[in-house]
Amino acid sequence: MNAARLQDGTIIVAKDYSPENHGLEIYCMDIACRAPVHFVQEGKKVSFFKTSGKGESVHKELCAFAAKMTFERSLFKVTQFQQELKSQVDPIMVRLNTNKLDPDYVPRSVEREGNNKEVDARELKISNDSPKPPQTVSSLKSLKKLFQTADPDLLASIFISYNGHKLPITDLISDQYIAAKKLWQGTSLNVNYFIHGEVTSIVRLDKVWYFNMGDDRFPFTLVVFEKYFEHFTYTDEDLLNRTILVMGRLKKNDFNKDKFVTEMVIKADAYIEFLD
């Protein structure tokens, strides 16, 4: 872990920790855990905190560092850590480029292949020290992999560089309710957002398909227009009752004035990744 919690509840990151100033009674940063941890210094640059695995010094069952978490739970923890770690850690910049998933994207004649290196999340996981140089995430699959393999405190220090914006990773990824709230409050950006949730019903009409992810109070619908049918091969069976991560632009549906109907326009299979 890159951070620990002191006795008074404050968070300390490994690079700022000193036993003289902060004492030896330090704990796992996850408030649900608080297992005693100790400081490890390897060489000049590499330092981190860890449990000993003996006695009390074992992560509790619900701790973010205890076991592999679901995508949703990992996102929840990362959001929590991100608020607590704010300004204490050096941001790790990761470039997000989803152009190639878009059937409408026309590559410029000169494509610099060297820039498209996927994030090696395992490499990130063991780097408890200095941030790696910017790397690129270019598919939902690699975004999912990043969440499944990197430690939550590391994810909390990742900033996404996307279409000219620099955002904490948790600003772009959320459930459908948080995304809809941003849209209707006017605080969302004109970029693709990443939503996790369950497909609850499907309606396929001649010219448009609807995949519903919301409930009656907050309708949230994925929309595929006829033009993109050929790029979208998932059947109803593939999608129904599945938990997915889906990418797309948020759009208000003003047709029904009594309800805040949120739509997300998707264009191809690659806009969806299954989480279950």
Interface positions with Zn ion (CB under 5 A): 28, 30, 33, 35, 59, 63, 65
The DSSP element (H or E) to which 212 belongs, if any, is strand 208-212
Q: How far is the CB of 63 from Zn ion (least distance, A)?
A: 3
Q: How far is the CB of 69 from Zn ion (least distance, A)?
A: 12
Q: How far is the CB of 32 from Zn ion (least distance, A)?
A: 8
Map residue 101 onto helix, strand or coil. helix
- Give CA–CA dist 193/216, Å, rounded: 22
Burial class (CB in 10 A: 0-12, 13-18, 19+), 68: exposed
CA neighbours closer than 13 Å in the CB half-sphere of residue 135: 17
Which is closer to Zn ion, CB of 28 or CB of 223?
28
Which is closer to Zn ion, CB of 59 or CB of 196?
59
249 forms beta bridges with: 265
Q: How far is the CB of 37 from Zn ion (least distance, A)?
A: 8
Which is closer to Zn ion, CB of 125 or CB of 251?
125
Q: How far is the CB of 271 from Zn ion (least distance, A)?
A: 35
Q: How far is the CB of 45 from Zn ion (least distance, A)?
A: 24
Which is closer to Zn ion, CB of 3 or CB of 35?
35
Distances (CA, A) of 158 to 88, 98, 141, 205, 232: 13, 17, 17, 41, 31
Q: What does the angle CA 78 – CA 169 – CA 99 come to, to the nearest 5 degrees?
A: 145
Which is closer to Zn ion, CB of 83 or CB of 130?
83
Residue 205 neighbours by CB under 8 Å, 6+ apart: none
Which is closer to Zn ion, CB of 64 or CB of 101?
64
